[in-house]
Amino acid sequence: MPSACADAKTNSLPAAPPLGEPAVSPLAVLPRVARETVLDRVYRTLRRSLIEGAFDPGEVLRIQEVAARLAVSTMPVRDALGRLVSERALEALPNRSIRVPLLTRPRLDEVAHARTLVEGEAAALASRRIGVGELGELKRETDAYDRLMTKGGSYSARAAYNHAFHFTIYRAAGSAVLLPIIESLWLQSGPFIRAAAEIYDGDDGLSATHHHRQIIAALQAGDPEEARRAVGADVGRAFDLLRQRLPLHEETGR
């Protein structure tokens, strides 16, 4: 007759699966990992470079050269460039080459107006939702930007801090509709911001982070209209500088 101890051990064991059903593998608890294709990586790299102004206005992007630089075949590069053309971040020319758009006055005015409207609305929404942690992050990013400016940091480093600052705000807005629109506008305005950064000399008497600190104050106060105004002033600063200092192509940019 089995002992009580043996019965206890038997009862503590997991039940066997019913006949005909496979046992559940311990690996079943692991989440699936999304597979990123080469095309995804190429597109993401080019997109980030455009947003940060890595390319000059009017610069021609040759598929073979881009592929060699990224150490990939030409097919994902061709597809990624085509996607960026459809998003108006790049433009296709009649000779089938692809270039970064030129700085034309109509394009500058249109992108500046759209960014002011959409990003101002996102900032107004964020003023009602942003938390203490996000405000702290904005302050840290602004302080880091100031330190970078005193050391003469590279444009790419400054662009990265500026992008992080603004998108901390736009994600805090909590709008799944506005965020992709803003991302598209930044994609289109990268060359403008790069050109403005190259001619910025502080002649307006304001520090590089003047408007960022005004934005933080408005968000901290929960003031949607002041947040809208401060973001509009920050966005407009770069575009106003280009209007004043650079000769812009008038209509087609051809």
How does pLDDT run across 243-252, given as a tens digit for each residue?
887 666 555 4
How does pLDDT run across 34-68, given as a tens digit for each residue?
557 899 999 999 999 998 888 888 999 999 999 99
Q: Is 233 exposed, middle or buried (0-12, 13-18, 19+ CB in 10 A)?
A: middle
Percent of the chain with pLDDT over 90: 54
CATH number of 105-245: 1.20.120.530
Contact (CB, 8 A) for 227 and 215? yes
Domain coordinates in residue numbering, the chain? 38-99, 105-245
The pLDDT, as a whole number, for residue 205 is 60
Residue 136 to residues 40, 130, 131, 233, Cα–Cα distance (Å): 33, 10, 9, 22
The pLDDT, as a whole number, for residue 120 is 98
Percent of the chain with pLDDT over 70: 80
What's the whole-number mean pLDDT along residues 224-243?
Answer: 93
Give the Cβ contact number of residue 1 at 10 Å.
3
pLDDT of residue 9 exceeding 50, the answer is: no
What does the block give as tokens for 3?
Answer: 């002992």
The pLDDT, as a whole number, for residue 105 is 87
pTM: 0.77
How does pLDDT run across 122-151, given as a tens digit for each residue?
999 999 999 999 999 999 999 999 998 888
What are the E-state strand segments in the chain? 60-61, 91-92, 98-99
Q: Specify the higher pLDDT residue, 151 or 227.
A: 227
For 38-99, give the CATH class.
Answer: mainly alpha
For tokens 């496979």, the residue is 22
CB-based burial, 79-115: b 16+ in 10 Å, e otherwise: ebbebbeeeebbeeeeeeebbbbbbbbebbeebbebb
How does pLDDT run across 199-221, given as a tens digit for each residue?
776 666 678 899 999 999 999 99
pLDDT of residue 21 exceeding 80, the answer is: no
The pLDDT, as a whole number, for residue 252 is 47
CA 189-99-54 angle, to 5 degrees, is: 50
Phi and psi at 89, nearest 5°, equal -80, -30
Cβ contacts of residue 93 below 8 Å, gap of 6+?
Answer: 99
